[in-house]
Amino acid sequence: GAGVSQSPRYKVAKRGQDVALRCDPISGHVSLFWYQQALGQGPEFLTYFQNEAQLDKSGLPSDRFFAERPEGSVSTLKIQRTQQEDSAVYLCASSVLGRTEAFFGQGTRLTVV
């Protein structure tokens, strides 16, 4: 596709349920970023991939959060045993290389009830 695609756009999960959020980056983009954005706040960095290598996962808030990019293209952010504080918009971005323009997807709005 022409841009970064995220699915689903909206997800409602019951507390304790596991969820998986998908990101399809722009073809050929080496770098991929995940962010968590609470309402009215800036994007908080979660993790960063260069191809299939997860170079930085310092922003993942707990061991319930896990991200992968096994073939260096599509990435999945998984949240286990969701809690209400996980409710946020999850943004994915990709770029050709680090330090260049990052292109963002529309995000996935996760609501935990």
- Positions in the binding site for other proteins (CB under 8 A): 31, 33, 35, 40-43, 45, 48, 50, 55-56, 89, 91, 93, 97-107
| CA 100/CA 38 separation, integer angstroms | 25
Spacing of C-alpha 25 from chain mean position: 11
* Residue among 66 and 104 whose Cβ is closer to other proteins: 104
- Our CB check for other proteins shows the closer of 33 and 79 to be 33
Cis status, amide bond into 43, omega within 30 of 0: no
**3 state SS of 12:** strand
CB 51 within 8 A of CB 31: no
Minimum distance from residue 112 beta carbon to other proteins (Å):
19
| Shortest distance, position 8 Cβ to other proteins, whole Å | 14
Q: Least distance to other proteins from the beta carbon of 109, Å?
A: 8
Of 44 and 68, the one with the shorter C-beta distance to other proteins is 44
When the beta carbons of 14 and 101 are compared against other proteins, the nearer one is 101
Q: Amino acid identity, residue 13?
A: A
- Least separation in angstroms between residue 65's CB and other proteins is 16
Q: Decide if 70 contacts 52 (C-beta within 8 A).
A: yes
